[in-house]
Amino acid sequence: MRPALIAVLFVLSVACVPALCSREEPPVLQPGAPAETRSRFAALDDVRLLANGLLQLGQSLREFVQRTKGQINDILQKLNIFDRSFYQLTVLASEIKEEEEELKKTTVVLKANNEEIKGLSVEINSKVDDILQEKIRLQNKVEGLEKKLSGLLQGLPTSEQVAEINGLRTLIHSQEQSITELLQAVRDQSDQINHQRMKIKNLEEKFTVNTLAQETVERSPDIINVEAPTLIPFLPPSSNSNAEMNLSPDCTELFNRGERVSGVYTIRPNGSEPFMAFCDMNTDHGVTVIQRRRDGYVNFDQTWEKYENGFGHFQGEFWLGLRKIHSLVARGYSVLHIQLEDWKQSKHFIKYRFYLDGPESNYTIHLTHLSGDLPDPMGNHTGMMFSTKDRDNDNHRDVNCAHNYTGGWWFNACGDTNLNGRYFHMRPKGRSERRRGIQWKSAGKASYSFKLSQISVHAGAPPSSTSAAPDTGVFLRSSTNIL
């Protein structure tokens, strides 16, 4: 307001100075001319003109003041809105920080639980191995005692000897019953551990989504780069008996002898060295399992020596070994049974007529499709030699398929199937990563990494009488009783 008032006073002073304040010299009287009288006041028109100018200036100043007030009010309203928004953002940031702290605490707890569960799992596997070895020793003792019993019966045993033999039988039976109960308890504990592990995995996945962290989709154990354990070796009987001569050649023969419980047995196919194998007795004929994948605990990216001799745990994931597989199928006609389950719990299977060459041919595979609801990508792999990361036998000139896609397999160049690939707990986003998983696909289909797989072999009838009856879901029933 002060600058406007000053401007008004300045205009008035400029207007009145020449009209009212000017000093004029008195007129000079000329002789002979009449004297003229001049007025000392401004003309009325000039005053009116000045008044109109002042009125217009005042009106303009009033309008300017009104506009300025309106702009100031708008600025104040915007400042209030900004203050409220800033306050809300501050509150929201505090809440996010609190949630982040809670998530960090939850992550620490989950990691601790996961480490504890891993330790329990390793301890359980060790105990189960000890129990199985003890069971084998007891079976060998039973066989020796049975032979002694036969000798005693032939030599007219006394009543004291009969009582001693009966006592030994009772003791052995009670020990077998205790071992069976202990194995069942270990199975139950393993199921509980697996259930807790799945809960931890689900919580970790939720934590990953909330924090928008880019984690790897492969949730492998910490031992993923460690050499896989060796399978349980065969322990020969302590007594000099011919017990090895009475061993069954495979799990099908054990089934025919009356065995109905899935588990680890000693077999001796075609006069080879005896070895331990897992028998799945949930079928109508009994099968010898040569591969199983279900949780990613065992690393299948192994060397040629490991794939030739076998690795893993019979109670979980394992590969039986190329030497043992060759001895199983060397007797003649065999059936290869492949079972898969995806992450939607859909079960699939496929069967082949199967033969495997020996080490001199790098275990070349020969397959003929029989039946199943899976596509047949292995049709392009028949006649291929086995390859590992340290022995490249595939048909690709410039690439080692086993090294690039991990795991040993009968690669072509490099093919669309590899059931010994990397185990993924979640579906990878990239196509190249998916091809490194447990994949089985036909041409033109997207790569997919399966959740469960089991490969088994059993003696089959000649090709003319082969039955192609479907047999799905077997390994899913047996996998719940693996331990």
35: in domain: no
Using DSSP bridges, classify how beta strands 287-293 and 318-319 pair: parallel, antiparallel or unpaired: antiparallel
Report d(CA 351, CA 468) in Å as an integer: 8
Q: Using CB atoms within 10 Å of the CB of residue 173, give its burial: 0 to 12 exposed, 13 to 18 middle, 19+ buried.
A: exposed
CA dihedral 163, 166, 170, 171 (to 10 degrees): 70
Closest alpha carbon to 285 in 260, 312, 318 = 260
Q: What is the DSSP letter of 35?
A: P
Of 94, 118, 151, the last residue of a domain is 151
Last-in-domain residue among 151, 172, 193: 151
CATH of the domain at 356: 3.90.215.10
Terminal CA-to-CA distance of the chain, rounded, Å? 95
344-403 per-position pLDDT tens digit: 899 999 999 999 999 999 999 999 999 999 988 888 889 999 999 999 999 888 889 999
Domains in the chain: how many in total?
Answer: 2
- Looking at the fold, whether 255 and 125 belong to one and the same domain comes out as no
- Among 151, 172, 207, where does a domain finish? 151
Is 219 within 8 Å of 425 (Cβ atoms)? yes
Distance in angstroms (rounded) separating the CA atoms of residues 259 and 288: 13
Give the per-residue SS3 of the chain. Answer: CHHHHHHHHHHHHHHHHHHHCCCCCCCCCCCCCCCCCCCCCCCHHHHHHHHHHHHHHHHHHHHHHHHHHHHHHHHHHHHHHHHHHHHHHHHHHHHHHHHHHHHHHHHHHHHHHHHHHHHHHHHHHHHHHHHHHHHHHHHHHHHHHHHHHHHHHHCCCCHHHHHHHHHHHHHHHHHHHHHHHHHHHHHHHHHHHHHHHHHHHHHHHHHHHHHCCCCCCCCCCCCCCCCCCCCCCCCCCCCCCCHHHHCECCHHHHHHCCCCCCEEEEECHHHCCCEEEEEECCCCCCEEEEEEECCCCCCCCCCHHHHHHCEECCCCCEECCHHHHHHHHCCCCEEEEEEEECCCCCEEEEEEEEEECCHHHCCCEEEEEEEECCCCHHHHCCCCCCEECCECCCCCCCCCHHHHHCCCECCCCCCCEECCCECCCCCCCCHHHHCCECEECCCCCCCCECCEEEEEEEECCCHHHCCCCCCCCHHHHHHCCCC
Does residue 244 belong to any structural domain of this protein? no
In a domain, 34, yes or no: no
Residue 39 lies in a domain: no
**pLDDT confidence of residue 351:** 96
197 vs 191: CA distance, rounded Å: 10
Q: How many residues belong to the chain?
A: 483
How far apart, in whole angstroms, are the C-alpha atoms of residue 385 and residue 379?
14
Are residues 146 and 274 both part of a single domain? Answer: no
Q: Count other C-beta atoms under 10 Å from residue 361's C-beta.
A: 13
> CB–CB of 289/279 below 8 Å?
yes
Q: Is residue 178 part of a domain?
A: no
Q: Are residues 286 and 145 in the same domain?
A: no
Residue 415, exposed/middle/buried by CB under 10 A (0-12, 13-18, 19+)?
Answer: buried
Please check whether residue 385 is in contact with residue 410, taking contact to mean a CB–CB distance below 8 angstroms: yes
146: left (phi over 0), alpha (psi -120 to 50) or beta: alpha
Range of the domain at 304: 251-459
β partners of residue 422: 437
Residue 66 belongs to some domain of the structure: yes
The verdict on residue 479 lying in a domain is no
Tell me: do 140 and 257 sit in the same domain.
no
**Does residue 292 lie within any of the structural domains?**
yes
- Write the single-letter amino acid at 188: D
> Burial code of 438-471, b = ≥16 C-beta within 10 A, e = fewer?
bbbbeeeeebbbbbbbbbbbbbbeeeeebeeeeb
Tokens read off for 256: 């025919």
* Nearest residue to 468 via CA among 478, 460, 476: 460
pLDDT in tens, the chain (483 residues): 555 555 555 555 545 444 444 444 444 445 554 544 555 566 888 888 889 999 999 999 999 999 999 999 989 999 989 988 898 888 888 888 888 888 888 888 888 888 888 888 888 888 888 888 888 888 888 888 877 777 766 665 567 777 777 888 888 877 887 788 788 778 777 777 876 776 676 666 555 544 433 343 344 444 444 678 888 888 776 554 565 668 899 999 999 999 999 999 999 998 889 999 999 998 888 999 999 999 999 999 999 999 999 999 999 999 999 999 999 998 778 999 999 998 889 999 999 999 999 999 999 999 999 999 998 888 888 999 999 999 999 988 888 999 988 899 999 888 778 999 999 877 666 666 777 888 887 655 656 778 999 999 998 876 654 444 444 444 443 333 332
- 141 and 274 fall within a common domain: no
- 8 A C-beta contact, residue 262 and residue 481: yes
Q: Which two tokens mark 105?
A: 């605490």
| Residue position matching structure tokens 């209030």 | 80
Q: Which residues pair with 287 in a beta bridge?
A: 280
Work out whether the CA dihedral 233, 236, 238, 244 comes out positive or negative: positive
